[in-house]
A and B are shown apart, each in its own frame.
Chain A
């Protein structure tokens, strides 16, 4: 199907696997155990799960930042599963990543101007520094980021501004696919809503395809068309957001949904669906 920009079939990833000396090997931790996902053109797909479910590993594998043990990744009709770094390079502009923590992903010693213009010149999206500056100013205007921010360093911006700079840096490259990994988890609700709306507008205007990784189901519901629920390296449920959220089929999805505290008083909520109340130290 050419309708899908990204297709991953039956991915397995083992973390920490190694072939040791004299046959001493370690098969690693199975972070993904046969995961298939697809992202349609212009579609925003949610990938949800709790810590250790493999959602971040899946995202990294999709962008070929982690090697897979088996399975197949097809980007825009081309099998990229085993492409070398030099063959991947031209594709890197087209598949971008927005990071969780902009404080960690924006170089603290570079000005915002350098941070956003450098990729433009590197990927030859802008023909010269003036062109790059023009493009940057246009997008800053659109993102309600003051132009004065350009001369500042990341730590001088507010958390919401930093996250918008991170999104702007990616949007400037006009990628076809964007992976957003927990990009609003550190933000206040007001700035979170702003960043999410920005992302939604972008995906609509640029026809962007997006994989949106989050542990927060209410955020996924607000921005995604379809959703994959991951647990212990397996997809336990997938489907259109309306269907999955209105009528979850898997018990784990139901537990996740029920665990979201809504800002409406519900005296029964705390006592509903206890789950495993006594935890055992052997379960990690």
Chain B
């Protein structure tokens, strides 16, 4: 049964300085329980979409038109206090860099219970919940981790803590912004599996921002491919990756180094393809 959690309609954004288009009529939907990959190369606008949903766009970026509906409520027109409350309690972020996302001078306990305390939980209830979350993200000795400072934990452990924090308030939508880019491959796999498990347990929808088509293939149900702020292709992961309809999608898949198919060699995207697509996008 489909229930759209996040619906983005024709979202356009421009740079405040010179009005350069950053997003061009981007539309996408994330259903309940679905993981939608949002992919593109650097500068394609994938992180901008995630930030627009969370209401944390940089000052230099202005939404020009379009709407973002979260469970039917328009995030862009909601009064500020209400919007902040809704986003704070129902939408969570799993950030890219576990090194910078945690405050280095506060213990894990303080950082993990912030959201719970703001939502009205007592100190002891928040602590109990924090311990339960650390257990759910499969951290051994949760008591010890609560007392630790971020620098005492490895990168993978920090990312687990951030995932625990994201699920603290039982969110309906998770925005995961390159959550495994900074991690080793073996740790990445554990974290991807963890996100998948947590999502299933909590029934959350996930908007998964990544540049890695391999990650998309393994964890996403559907995918939206961006280039220069425009949606190039959109559909179920199996369809888009196995039978891409757009030439840019084909080129991008071809450029991925394949350890399972070394005979394919390395096939960079030719400058002609990029130039052609840039013109098409600018003209549209």
Residues of A within 8 A of B (CB): 50-51, 144, 159, 188-194, 196-197, 200, 215-219, 221-223, 241-242, 245, 255-266, 269-271, 274-284
Interface pair A259/B188, CB less than 8 Å apart = yes
B140:A278 contact, CB within 8 angstroms: yes
Q: A265-B237, A270-B196, A277-B138 are in contact. Are A190 and B215 (CB under 8 A)?
A: no
Query: Which residues of chain B are within 8 angstroms of A262 by Cβ–Cβ distance?
Result: 214, 217-218, 258-260
Whole-angstrom distance between the Cβ of A190 and the nearest chain B Cβ:
4
Q: Which residues of A contact B132 (CB under 8 A)?
A: none
Interface residues of B, dominant DSSP: helix
Pairs A–B under 8 Å by Cβ, sample size 26? A188-B42, A189-B41, A189-B256, A190-B269, A217-B185, A217-B259, A222-B265, A223-B266, A241-B262, A245-B262, A256-B185, A258-B189, A259-B188, A261-B215, A261-B218, A263-B214, A264-B241, A264-B242, A264-B260, A265-B218, A266-B218, A270-B193, A270-B219, A275-B189, A277-B138, A283-B154
The 8 Å CB contact of A260, one of B141, B148, B160, B214, is B214
Contacts of A197 in B (CB 8 A): 266, 268
Q: How large is the interface on B (under 10, 10 to 19, 20 to 34, 35 or more residues)?
A: 35 or more
Closest-by-CB residue of B relative to A271 is B193
A202 to B262, CA, bound (A): 20
B190, B251, B253, B255: which contacts A275 (Cβ < 8 A)? B190
Cα-based distance from A250 to B204 in the complex (angstroms): 38
Docked Cα-Cα span, A185 to B145, in Å, equals 31
Chain B residue at minimum C-beta to C-beta distance from A273: B189
Q: How far is the CB of A59 from chain B (nearest CB, A)?
A: 18
Chain B residue at minimal CB-CB distance from A241: B262
Residues of A within 8 A of B213 (CB): 189, 263
The answer to whether B266 touches A222, judged by C-beta atoms less than 8 angstroms apart, is yes
Min CB distance A260 to B, Å, is 6
Flag whether B115 is at the interface (Cβ < 8 A). Answer: no
Contact across chains for B218 and A269 when beta carbons are under 8 A apart: yes
A200 nearest CB neighbor, chain B only: B266
- In addition to A263-B253, A281-B145, 19 A-B residue pairs with Cβ atoms within 8 Å of each other are A50-B185, A144-B271, A189-B256, A193-B269, A194-B268, A197-B266, A215-B184, A222-B257, A241-B262, A257-B259, A258-B189, A261-B188, A261-B217, A262-B258, A263-B241, A263-B256, A270-B192, A278-B140, A281-B153
